[in-house]
Structure 1
Amino acid sequence: MEVKSDASVLILANHFSWWDGFFLFYINKKVFKKQFHVLVNAENYNKVGFLKYLGAFAVENKGKDVLETLNYAGKLLDNPQNLVLVFPQGKLYSNHLKNISFEKGVMQIINASQKKINIIFAATFIDYFAKRKPSAYTYLQHWENEEYVSLQLLKSAYNKHYDQSVVKQNQLIE
């Protein structure tokens, strides 16, 4: 996948499992090779001590702290060596959704940055087929963002990618 090397990477991904961040951490190591950061909720951050060593930073669900954390994520995107993973849904949902919702904090992150960003859409699905262990399939798309980005435009573009990814996933046969 081609990305501009002089720009950071913002990955927007569906969130259906505790493992999502690890899948994309691995993809970063193999594909993007950037300094990995992931926005997680405070409960998981405090409960799982090693997350901070994987580049995790946490947000509380309260007023000013939320804004400060989202602005921090935006500032991380000003460094072209960084990758920031965000789950725009804000919490875990089923892997079988028809539509991915976006919390408005995604736009706060983008607006807090200098907007020199590679925006990557990621849709991950799990299937077992005839195996005892599941396989994860992640579909990536580099979204060429416009100068003006709205939450609705971003959500619509992501969901188009998500729909196309579902079609590809449904075509897998083993």
Structure 2
Amino acid sequence: MIIKSKPLSLFWLKVGGYCLTIIFRIFFFNKLIIKPADIKSGHSYILSINHFSFGDGFLGFYLAYQVLIKQGKMKRLYIMSLKKQMEMKWWLRHLGSFSIEPGKYSVKESMAYAAEILNEPGNLLLFFPQGNLESCHIRTIEFQDGISEIVPQIKGNCQLLWSSNIAEYFESIKPSVYFNMLDCGTAKDFDFDRFKQEINLHHKESLKKNVRFTKEKD
């Protein structure tokens, strides 16, 4: 049996996003630069991001706050988390987390629950398709099958979004983060192979723009 979410209200999401923005900009980062994608109204959203640090959940929430909550397009935040983590940290469910237990039969229940959430406009699922931590500077994103099991079960209108988040220091002792967003279409026209190809092409282009400014052979 999965542990279901008890997500924060929109009011607390706005308060949390505002506070996190101030904390990020004063204490942790030099610059936070978002290269946005077009966001569809009246949809739910899957926001997939590359997984390179323990703080990715906070970065994902910051991005959602800036491009979705502040624009009035998002109402609830959900995150798929390992069941063993949720059992140790009970408060995660109140931040939008629901459980998944890889290798167990309950995985199907977790996927169905994610799809059910995404049937409602304004709900957002923050998703890490790699499944493991990897450097933000890898050239190829390797995807687990999770998203391909969720999307076909979605009955409502759902937009798929990706962000290649790349951290660099350059002139500062504090890192800057570049959020390179990509509109990956909707659940209705989802094709997993095309989804992976488009994201990997986008990720390589993001690295070229954000990391190295001289011409380099692929």
**TM-score, normalisation: structure 1:** 0.88
Q: 1:142 to 1:84 in 2, by over 3 A?
A: same
For 1:104, the equivalent position in structure 2 comes to: 145
- For residues 57 and 146 of structure 1, the distance between their equivalents in structure 2, rounded to whole angstroms, comes to 21
Moved over 6 A (4+): none
- For residues 44 and 167 of structure 1, the distance between their equivalents in structure 2, rounded to whole angstroms, comes to 36
Partner deviation per Cα, 1:113-147 (whole Å, 9 max, x = no partner): 11521111111111122322222221111122484
After superposition, the CA RMSD in angstroms is 2.0
Shift of 1:7: 0.8
Aligned mate of 1:69, from 82, 103, 110: 110
Aligned mate of 1:170, from 211, 214, 217: 211
- For residues 87 and 187 of structure 2, the distance between their equivalents in structure 1, rounded to whole angstroms, comes to 37
* Mapped pair 1:117 → 2:158: yes
Structure 1 unaligned spans of 5+:
none
Shift of 1:64: 1.5
Across the two proteins, how many residue pairs are aligned to each other? 172
Contact 2:157 2:187 in 1 (8 A): no
For 2:57, the equivalent position in structure 1 comes to: 21
Shift of 1:58: 2.0
Shift of 1:154: 1.2
* Mapped pair 1:149 → 2:190: yes
- For residues 2 and 52 of structure 1, the distance between their equivalents in structure 2, rounded to whole angstroms, comes to 30
For 1:44, the equivalent position in structure 2 comes to: 85
Shift of 1:47: 4.0
Q: Which residue identity lines up with residue 16 of structure 1 in the other structure?
A: F
For 1:54, the equivalent position in structure 2 comes to: 95
Aligned mate of 2:130, from 64, 89, 110: 89
Q: Which residue identity lines up with residue 92 of structure 1 in the other structure?
A: L
For 2:40, the equivalent position in structure 1 comes to: 4
Contact 1:121 1:161 in 2 (8 A): no
Shift of 1:8: 0.5
Aligned mate of 1:140, from 173, 178, 181: 181
Higher gyration radius (CA): 2
Q: Secondary structure at the match of 2:148?
A: helix
Identity over aligned pairs, percent: 28
